[in-house]
Structure 1
Amino acid sequence: MGTIDDYLAALDPADAAVIGHAYDLAREVVPDAAQGLGYGMPALIHRGKPLVSLMRAKSHIGVYPFSPAAIVEIDDLLDGVDRAKGTIRFDPAAPLPDATVRALVEARRREIDGA
């Protein structure tokens, strides 16, 4: 098992399902992404750099693309979604749409590939 698998195994099953689905979507966009750590959080890694992390907090799930630019790039898909410079937050009962997760991961992948 990897860091993400270990993290998911420790979560409440409902939260694990929501977070696991988002990671599955990310792997569809970047199939060669590996499990690892980004700033101490379980994350998918692409070309040695953190791609995305999802973590359960007390009142939300946080999505961390390790890039404010990736969030800005998909801003039109985040209408009504709580976000800050480097974080997107959502209620686990109302997950981000699949297309939004894919667009975010694609934006971060392009950023890493261009670096």
Structure 2
Amino acid sequence: MAGPATVDDYLAGFDGDTRARLDQMRAAIRAAAPDAVESIAYGMPAYKLDKKPLVYFAGYAGHVGFYATPNGHEAFAEEFSAFKQGKGSVQFPHTAPLPLDLVRRVVEFRIGAIRG
């Protein structure tokens, strides 16, 4: 079975608070990177800038996953340390407000890394 073809399709698979949190992530990323191209990669919403990966996010039962590529995670390691992390990911639990300012700053950092 094929996965979602668009971010709208992906988001349609969620409802309630999880959907609202995913919508907030999408809005924060798009506001920080209005030139980024939105797509689906690795089965999740993905953003590219100048054809280079910017950030990704995904919804899960207990958290929103955020993927800022290796240099994004390295640059924000101290702030991400407050959250559970996986290889190349940080998990924002549904039990706490999304750190949208942190997401914005990470996106802006990644833009700077891409455009130098």
Aligned pairs (5 A) from 1:32-47? 32-47=35-50
Alpha carbon RMSD of aligned pairs, Å? Answer: 1.9
Question: TM-score, normalized by length of structure 1?
Answer: 0.82
Aligned sequence identity (%): 35
Kindly tell me the number of residue pairs found equivalent between the two proteins: 112
Question: TM-score, normalized by length of structure 2?
Answer: 0.82
Shift of 1:84: 3.0
Whether 1:20 aligns to 2:31 is no
Structure 1 residue aligned with 2:72: 70
Shift of 1:17: 0.9
Which aligned runs of 4 or more in structure 1 are off by greater than 4 angstroms? none
Q: Which of 82, 85, 99 in structure 1 is aligned with 2:84?
A: 82
Structure 2 residue aligned with 1:101: 103
Structure 2 gaps of 5+ residues are none
Structure 2 distance, partners of 1:112, 1:38, is 18
Partner amino acid for 1:20?
Answer: D
Structure 1 gaps of 5+ residues are none
Shift of 1:102: 0.7
Shift of 1:99: 1.3
SS in 1 for 2:48: strand
SS in 1 for 2:55: strand
Q: Deviations over 1:4-53 (max 9, x none)?
A: 12111221231111111111111111111121133342212211122222
Shift of 1:93: 2.7
Structure 1 distance, partners of 2:42, 2:112, is 20
Q: Is the 8 A contact 2:21 2:98 kept in 1?
A: no
Q: Is the 8 A contact 1:26 1:101 kept in 2?
A: yes
